């Protein structure tokens, strides 16, 4: 059942648009709250009034002329999952390339929740090489592809390209939202790269964007956890996420240790500086004063402080490596973490600032499991699956 889950149904311009009305009804029957968004072409196939009557909310049909200043971002932030049904060839192409030129594509591009697309088109269009490339790209980005199936098409012919039935899409929504297997669990996540000041202008830092930590925090929140996100980076918005903004390793340590004292799981995705300038200049260091000498001292070991807590949380560490991740196995055992995620930040698509990651899972016994390149959102989902399974096994 989908009681009180927030679902956006996005309708694009194909004959299968009539099925969107059945989909909205089925979702509401499952207890979901549904809102809709339509392309202008979709309104030629199904009336906005129909979706308004079914959902209780007028559909968004344009980026302009609405009472809302930004209807697409409001919908994207509200949604727990977005379903594009039907998804036409044109819409799939827009989404694969991040082109947000209508209400549907703009809403999906602005979203940070799971996205499901249900393709619907003629067989020739489905089999067209560019369409297949676009679908493959969306799948690699973490989008869930529901269908299509084979059957009678709008032109009277038969073949691949028929949109799957609403009941199958409802099942996909249920799977995407998942069981709230972290309901009530207290979680701490660190994200971003710390910045250690040299003077009031300059600092020593790193290239961490915070994207991996944000994805981990978001997925935990969607699974019901109450998340404290300790971060140096812009944070995602979710009712279950409390954000603690920090800058230095010392600030991150203090905030994390306080939050972890009552947490059940702690995930350390931040890139924390190992050293900091020991003497921070009160004024700006100027070129005319000559080449400065900067002396460094160790920063607090945030991870170690949590691992050593009596009755501390389940701990997941991260290790950014260059080249081999063999050192991560030693780190996992030396640090005493329950799990460790290692990645080669020099590898294409698996470094700082990317939307994808290729990681190796290291368990406390030293065993490893290599994961294929996938979106950071997909890495987060898979990581939480492992954490939930291991915590349950430990409790049994």
- Catalytically active residues are 206
16: CB partners within 8 A, 6+ apart = 85, 86, 120, 154, 162, 163
Whole-number Å distance between alpha carbons of 344 and 349: 10
Q: At what angle do helices 376-395 and 211-222 cross, to 10 degrees?
A: 50
Whether the bond between 396 and the residue before it is cis, its omega within 30 degrees of 0, is no
80: CB partners within 8 A, 6+ apart = 5, 6, 7, 113, 114, 177, 222
**Segments in 111-155 forming alpha helices (H):** 123-127, 129-140
Give the containing element (helix H, strand E) for 27.
Answer: helix 18-29
65: CB partners within 8 A, 6+ apart = none
Angstrom distances, CA of residue 345 to CA of 131, 207, 304? 31, 10, 23
DSSP strands (E only) in 205-313: 226-231, 241-245, 265-268, 275-277, 296-298
Dihedral through CA 317, CA 389, CA 363, CA 176, nearest 10?
-60
> What are the backbone dihedrals phi and psi of residue 158, each rounded to the nearest 5 degrees, phi first?
-135, 145
3-state SS class at 169 = helix
Give the containing element (helix H, strand E) for 382.
Answer: helix 376-395
Q: Per residue in 172-210, is it b (16+ CB within 10 Å) or e — as a string?
A: bbbebbbeebbeebbbbbbbbbbbbbbbeebbebbebbb
3-state SS class at 377 = helix
Whole-number Å distance between alpha carbons of 298 and 314: 25
Strand-pairing partners, residue 245, are 231
């Amino acid at each position: 059942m989908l009681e009180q889950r927030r679902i956006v149904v996005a309708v694009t311009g194909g004959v299968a648009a009539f099925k969107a009305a059945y989909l909205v009804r089925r979702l509401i029957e499952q207890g979901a709250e549904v809102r809709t968004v339509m392309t202008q072409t979709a309104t030629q196939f199904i009336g906005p009034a129909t979706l308004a009557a079914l959902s209780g909310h007028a559909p968004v049909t344009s980026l302009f002329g609405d009472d809302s200043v930004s209807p697409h971002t409001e919908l994207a932030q509200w949604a727990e999952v977005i379903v594009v049904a039907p998804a036409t060839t044109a819409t799939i192409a827009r989404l694969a390339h991040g082109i947000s030129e209508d209400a549907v594509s703009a809403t999906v591009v602005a979203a940070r929740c799971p996205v499901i697309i249900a393709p619907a088109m003629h067989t020739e269009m489905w089999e067209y090489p560019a369409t297949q490339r676009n679908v493959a790209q969306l799948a690699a980005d973490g989008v869930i592809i529901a269908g299509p199936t084979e059957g009678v098409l709008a032109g009277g012919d038969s073949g691949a390209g028929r949109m799957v039935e609403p009941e199958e899409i409802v099942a996909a929504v249920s799977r995407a939202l998942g069981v709230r297997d972290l309901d009530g669990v207290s979680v701490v996540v660190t994200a971003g790269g710390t910045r250690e000041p040299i003077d009031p202008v300059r600092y020593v830092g790193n290239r961490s964007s915070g994207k991996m930590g944000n994805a981990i925090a978001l997925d935990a929140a969607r699974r019901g956890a109450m998340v404290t996100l300790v971060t140096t980076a812009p944070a995602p918005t979710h009712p279950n996420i409390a954000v603690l903004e920090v800058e230095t390793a010392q600030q991150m340590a203090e905030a994390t240790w306080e939050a972890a004292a009552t947490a059940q799981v702690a995930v350390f995705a931040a890139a924390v500086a190992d050293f900091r300038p020991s003497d921070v200049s009160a004024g700006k260091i100027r070129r005319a004063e000559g080449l400065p000498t900067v002396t460094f001292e160790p920063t607090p070991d945030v991870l170690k402080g949590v691992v050593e807590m009596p009755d501390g949380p389940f701990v997941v560490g991260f290790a950014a490596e260059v080249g081999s991740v063999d050192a991560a196995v030693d780190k996992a055992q030396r640090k005493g973490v329950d799990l460790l995620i290692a990645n080669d930040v020099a590898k294409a698509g698996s470094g700082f600032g990317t939307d994808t990651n290729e990681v190796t899972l290291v368990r406390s016994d030293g065993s490893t499991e290599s994961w294929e390149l996938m979106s950071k959102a997909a890495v987060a989902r898979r990581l939480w699956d492992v954490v939930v399974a291991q915590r349950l096994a430990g409790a049994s």
